[in-house]
Structure 1
């Protein structure tokens, strides 16, 4: 497809789709809880649909009413053996978290996905789940999908230090820990603090969990109750408009009801450090959300590393674009996790931006970007990665000559089905 270029400014108000991480977890908790769960603001993207279909295949009744769904939960014991392998599509979150649930069920199951998912290592969940007594195995020593999980095992508690800063690994182990004996207590120690949606939602559904710094204690044998869940807009989706508003001249964008859970707002800290203008208004402390107003700004380079990385790991591709339009040098370190996402995002991002004329160098765990540089047109392949496709569309707005084109734009359906409609709305409002 042809991408819009030479934007004269982006203006308008948007409500971005529901948070993907929270959407996944609301379906999972609703399915393993007892009673009805009502979810408002669910993301209607392909990844979340994969999660819904997986639980439907296990006998859970889920009714859709636009962005609202109802789930009739029957507890862990109410899950039934699926009649065929569960298709996770492109969703690593679905695969890893559901594996933690299936690890303790008394039936055999198998999870598979598309070509991209089949290259993503699952050993990071398989190894600790095996320590808990689970029988789980994938292809090669990295446990690539398809994953086969055998039932009729008794899970037990572990004391485990996570070798990677990963909310997906942590969440899979929390789901498994809930199925251990009532007297068991699983202890997890995070490498760095990661997004805490699973912990918060566990408490919301009546569960017990104790958190002290990076230490997490999860008692076994818990019974959860259905709840009402209100999902804020996804800051990972809002990130594309935040960056667009900062770098496209003459722009002002208002983003309503964006989730601002502190474990997810690393991009806002980076923007502030770089001199960007983003204002929070209408903050809702109960739902951890706010309206964000962003305006075109003069930016300077910065360093992004350490404990900040887990708070913005999904936003780093679009942050790399932001850095190309900032004066001076931006260094991204400690982000080796980018290499095992939907694509090797370090390689793909640097290749794309180099082709557009950016001065960017890949490193083993990040990138070095020198700005400010003008960008020129190129042909882009999303490589099955939704965030690469959306980043390319935002980068194209800065191109003044030539035609930008994108193939593989269908990948964007996994997280932001209305992305191009929203882009046209903002670009036509000037």
Structure 2
């Protein structure tokens, strides 16, 4: 038993700071979703002001969420994020289910990013046409190897790629606002909105895509254990990162809506590319390809780190094989990272943009709802826990965040029954899997 306890207490290196915290939020959130989603949303919503309002509304929701998450993360700075708080509040089984939900949600993402990287790279280098998937696997392999040596190399890569991504996106925004728009009426065109059942369904579908694009804002929670001063840095990382993302998203959407009529945006698979054509002319395809590649490289690096931290945390708690908690000298959970690499190779065969984003949004509302409920329970159940940061507006804003999450989940269940059925099926099979893991790792779980 003593040996099992010792293994379960393995901890990651505390070498990260606020710069990494902000860069991981920006890097894990802003990807090709913001370049592709505007087109899908333009199909759903008939009004530019309504579209921008949805992006702002989702951003305010993220700020609301970040406040409650900051308290939980600073209170329990452990690798793996939300499942730690949920387990403490609701017990072992719910913690197990939430942890695996979170892992599946995050481990499937790199497959999509690798496919997109393959597509954009072959556009820049036509001689690679026909090898899109091989190029994507090449990116996956390179970034796995980059992250294997240790967290310091991973941190440096994340900071550099996140900064370059922000700079390139601002170049796109500036180019659009300095260009002559294709529409003389500009951005503020009042269009009649008929509020009916169809529009409400479309609203929830649009919010589902938007929240899928915002997914990643809670990335700080996965690396809290590696922060050198979590009590000070975590809340700041959440808020600075969230405000940066919201600002960029509003600017990018505003720029696209400024230069293109809504009908053109809806017809363009990649709205940002059509906007760049107006802003940069013949150079547009090269510009947008470079922006897309750096955006995806940054988010791919982040998502090579995130699921491996979740799997490390699950392994340490006895929710996966004990080898998943092994660390190399650089502080990398290398077995977990390699497992994620193999799973991503499998997922590469089955990803599409809308399916991944839609499923991510549904699963995200489940995990965040349980997290907010955990904060309410732990304030009463564990009032003496050290809380370096306390959520503002508690309990009212936490209850509001929980309510919004539940409303979104219900809305998504109605508007996307396929993702809802998948989530329900996953939850149903989680209990027999939990019983199996309990039997195999009973000694670990019993004493946690």
TM interval, shorter chain, is: under 0.3
Report the TM-score, using the length of structure 1 for normalisation.
0.26
Report the TM-score, using the length of structure 2 for normalisation.
0.25
Which fold has the larger relative contact order, with Cα–Cα distance below 8 Å and residues 6 or more apart in sequence?
Answer: 2
